[in-house]
Amino acid sequence: MEPWLTPDEPTISPRKADLLKGLDQVLYLLEAYLRDLPDEALWWTPAPDVPPIGARLQHVVGASSRLATYALEEAYDPNALAALAEQDWTTTGRPKTDLLTEVRQTLTGIRGRILALPDEALDEPRPVGRRRIPVRRAGILHHLIEHAAHHTGQILLLARLWGFHSQGAQRVTGK
Ligand code: NI
């Protein structure tokens, strides 16, 4: 069953449940979309300057970790985080299982940290980025989920396009 349809647990507040289910939903969809995809599909570049699925997965890991840092850590170096952001889009050729494991570890790690947070802490403002713009923790965490979900939609579309692309390649080579 899709996580958003699952019943609430009595020990978890509705506000936190919505965040946790949002994270679970992203992971559920990513795993479903990538289940039958071979490694070569992850590093297929659909057009110039359009990053492949693998780089997008790296970006989901990187951006989610950075946003979680903004929301959940007391002190951080915004310049160090900005430098890390540039590495998201590197073509590493990492295999699917490796990338999916990292996505799963990142999102379930964030899940655990949200679960451990007192409800009142969700409304505390946290300084975001170099300009230290104050944003409520819950606002940052909602953005983390929305951001991961929008890249998940892109990954679904790329997976479909790769399907057509690979079929076309088979026809050309007569297989
Ligand atoms: Ni992004």
| d(CA 63, ligand 1 centre) in Å | 7
**Ligand 1 centroid, distance to 90 Cα (angstroms):** 14
This prediction has a pTM of 0.94
pLDDT in tens, 11-36: 999 999 999 999 999 999 999 999 99
Ligand 1 midpoint to CA 7 (Å): 30
60 contacts: CB under 8 Å, gap ≥ 6: 26, 30, 103, 106, 148, 151, 152
In the chain, domain spans = 3-172
Strand, helix or coil for residue 134: strand
pLDDT digits (tens, 9 = 90+) for 69-128: 999 998 899 888 988 898 999 999 999 999 999 999 999 999 999 999 999 999 999 999
- Ligand 1: centre distance to CA 145 (Å): 11
Is 3-172 in CATH node 1.20.120.450?
yes
Residue type, position 57, single letter:
L
Q: How far is the CA of 168 from the centre of ligand 1 (A)?
A: 30
Task: Provide the residue type at 24 as one letter.
Answer: D
Reading the block at residue 15, the tokens are 């506000």
